[in-house]
A and B are shown apart, each in its own frame.
Chain A
Amino acid sequence: RKEVEQDPGPFNVPEGATVAFNCTYSNSASQSFFWYRQDCRKEPKLLMSVYSSGNEDGRFTAQLNRASQYISLLIRDSKLSDSATYLCVVNIRGGGFKTIFGAGTRLFVKA
């Protein structure tokens, strides 16, 4: 089982749709959680950190459920510019410190 698993995608949605990305992690020593977006042939960019209390930034909402070891990202009113690959990232502390990237979920938003 992969340490961080994401929906395989791709997701194809019309503009204005609400999109939900799911991510699960297997290591209970996971400490911090992030969502990144990566555009084609570009570097990943931090979208938001994810907290147990949930956090919102404009059209983006991230949630963390530690009991279920599950992270989500919700995009409301999707725009064409939201088209990208969304990466779930988990930092694990235990016998060292390591960062695990999910394989990413590709999103295509169409007019």
Chain B
Amino acid sequence: GAVVSQHPSRVICKSGTSVKIECRSLDFQATTMFWYRQFPKKSLMLMATSNEGSKATYEQGVEKDKFLINHASLTLSTLTVTSAHPEDSSFYICSARLRTTYEQYFGPGTRLTVT
């Protein structure tokens, strides 16, 4: 299957700082990438859809000014958690969708802990 990388895999930051997470499709071009968060033992929650060259589409209840998404190229999308707070601590996972089959391939996730 297609390969998606995500960096960093784990980050601990202090309250009030910003954290950037990168998501790359390594062997295919992805016009559409997705950002999810997942709390322990809970379902994936879609935060936003990232479209290359245009603004991201955010799900209801997700603050676009807090979770900045940039999809500047066909292989890279970034999520920046601005002014992080402890309640932002979660597992953030990106995925990239193949244009032909609509299969989504996930990155390994980023575990964010805000102290």
Question: Which residues from chain A sit less than 8 Å from chain B, CB to CB?
Answer: 31-32, 34, 41-46, 49, 87, 89, 91, 99, 101-104
Q: Are B1 and A46 in contact (CB under 8 A)?
A: yes
Question: Which residues from chain B sit less than 8 Å from chain A, CB to CB?
Answer: 1, 34, 43-44, 46, 91, 93, 97, 101-109, 111
Q: Are A43 and B93 in contact (CB under 8 A)?
A: yes
Task: Please list 18 pairs of residues, one from A and one from B, whose beta carbons are closer than 8 Å in the complex, sorted by A's number.
Answer: A34-B104, A41-B91, A42-B108, A43-B93, A43-B106, A43-B107, A44-B44, A44-B106, A45-B106, A46-B103, A46-B104, A91-B102, A99-B34, A99-B46, A99-B104, A101-B44, A103-B43, A104-B43
Q: Are A101 and B102 in contact (CB under 8 A)?
A: no
Q: Are A32 and B102 in contact (CB under 8 A)?
A: yes
B106 → A minimal CB distance (Å): 4
Closest A residue, CB atoms, query B45: A101
CB-CB under 8 A for A49 and B109, given A101-B43, A104-B43? no
A32, A41, A99, A102 pick with most chain B CB within 10 angstroms: A99
Q: Are B108 and A43 in contact (CB under 8 A)?
A: yes
